[in-house]
Amino acid sequence: MNDQGRRRVGILVGVGLACGLLPGIALAGTETLDKALAVLMAVIVMTIINQLIFVGPSGRVPLPALLAFGLAGYVQDALVWWLLSWLGPKLGNMQVEGLGTILLAALITRGTVLLLSQLTPTAETAED
């Protein structure tokens, strides 16, 4: 799997975990399909923005660089979750309540993206 594929899977897993674990993210709707579509909408928005404005390593990197990429990506993901808190009720059945929920969702999402980006063979170590 290439780097873009790992990022997309990381976003899918991260958004799914955030929507499932955080009590401040409410998925409205009576059917499971409604809730799945709300999560899918969040995944699509997050994926599009992360593909357009990519902040992260393109392979395995040392810990200081990983922390810098992680911090920049965390800020980006927090801003995207803030956008989703505004777009969610308008486009789907998702409500994101509070700044704490936004920050925790961004932490979960960026953590999974960085974790999957580091799961490459050691031969693909990024060069400075």
Tell me if 59 is assigned to some domain.
yes
Instruction: Indicate the number of domains in the chain.
Output: 1
Tell me if 126 is assigned to some domain.
no
Per the rule left: phi > 0, alpha: psi between -120 and 50, beta: everything else, 98 is left
What is the arithmetic mean of pLDDT over 92-118?
89
pLDDT confidence tier of residue 120, bands split at 50, 70 and 90: low
**What is the helix (H) or strand (E) element at residue 26, kind and residue range?**
strand 25-27
Tell me if 128 is assigned to some domain.
no
Tell me if 14 is assigned to some domain.
yes
Q: Which structural domain range is residue 75 located in?
A: 3-120
pLDDT confidence tier of residue 109, bands split at 50, 70 and 90: very high
Tell me if 76 is assigned to some domain.
yes
Dist CA 69 CA 55 (whole Å) = 6
Instruction: State pTM to two decimals.
Output: 0.82
13-69 pLDDT, tens digit each: 999 999 999 999 988 777 888 888 888 888 999 999 988 988 776 667 788 888 888
Tell me if 50 is assigned to some domain.
yes
